Amino acid sequence: MYAYVTLVTNTDYAIGATALARSLTAVGAEYPLLVLATSGVPEADVERLREAGCKMLPVAQPDLSGEFRSRHNRQAQHAQSPFTKGEKPAFHDPLDNFCKLRLWELTDYRRVVFLDADTLVIKNIDKLFGYPEFSGAPNLYESLDDMHRLNSGVFVAAPSRDTYADMVARLDAPEAYWPRTDQTFLQDYFRDWHGLPYTYNALQYLYFNLPQLWDWASIRVIHFQYEKPWQPDHPKRAKLQPLIELWQTVYDHGAIPDLG
């Protein structure tokens, strides 16, 4: 059995996940979207996601030590490893990112494809369920030097409780610090990760940093890293207006427009 999985921790990510669910429906995805939802998600958002066809699963952060939490809370993590290329919204909590690891507990599923709640699927990606663990796309958004780094916004995993237990033990080792939280950890844990084409996780900054690589005919997933398309005060709106309008169309109408 297969499933798409995303993580929702608050109202903002519930908005993103609603658009994601509608995009999967629009491209004819064969498999359901499971939403890992923390206690911070209001019931009204849970109901809206159910109406969008999502299966809701409650989730909590892994059992992590107080020292680990102190090193990875928003203030500490942003101070030690600041984001210099873009702005993380105020609703971003780095500790919540580690909830992604809970998907390895979903042992009713042989394969899952994880999609961040700020992604949008614009072409069918069901073929990813045939890829091995751990498959992910590069963190390509500024230059080709980015190709060696993983972006954990889209990846293929094989749930296993043994894997999850081993992950948590490695994650919370003494003095462990993961500068980009789950992303840094997963790249370290799966050191021989299988590379997906960047078109399966096209980061929005690629649109203006490397426009020669932005090919609408081949892009399958757009990832709105940093600023989110639903933010009313979007600081890069002028640079990203076509992508923002695309996201809004899917959110409002559940349809992928003709992208030429």
pLDDT digits (tens, 9 = 90+) for 209-233: 999 999 999 999 999 999 999 999 9
Residue position matching structure tokens 């349809």: 255
Specify the pairing of strand 150-157 against strand 194-195: unpaired
**Per the CATH hierarchy, to which homologous superfamily does domain 2-253 belong?**
Spore Coat Polysaccharide Biosynthesis Protein SpsA; Chain A (3.90.550.10)
Per-residue model confidence (pLDDT) at position 178: 86
Stretch among 7-21, 46-60, 72-86 having the lowest mean pLDDT: 72-86
Q: Which of 149, 163, 160 is nearest to 193 (CA)?
A: 149
Q: Retrieve residue 160's tokens.
A: 């296993």
Per-residue model confidence (pLDDT) at position 179: 83
Q: Give 32 or 89, the one with higher predicted confidence.
A: 32
pLDDT band (50, 70, 90) for residue 76: low
Average pLDDT, integer, range 182-195: 96
pLDDT band (50, 70, 90) for residue 74: confident
Q: Is the dihedral of CA 7, 12, 16, 18 positive or negative?
A: positive
Q: Which of 220, 259, 254, 228 is nearest to 242 (CA)?
A: 259
Q: What is the pTM for the complete model shown?
A: 0.94
Per-residue model confidence (pLDDT) at position 81: 66
Q: Using CB atoms within 10 Å of the CB of residue 213, give its burial: 0 to 12 exposed, 13 to 18 middle, 19+ buried.
A: middle
In DSSP terms, 8 is beta-bridged to 37
Q: Give 175 or 244, the one with higher predicted confidence.
A: 244
The span from the CA of 97 to the CA of 107, in Å, is 20
Phi, psi for 207 (deg, rounded to 5)? -60, -40
Per-residue model confidence (pLDDT) at position 93: 81
pLDDT of residue 155 exceeding 90: yes
pLDDT band (50, 70, 90) for residue 82: confident
Domain boundaries, the chain: 2-253
Q: Where are the alpha helices (DSSP H) in 8-151?
A: 11-26, 43-51, 66-72, 74-80
Per-residue model confidence (pLDDT) at position 91: 58
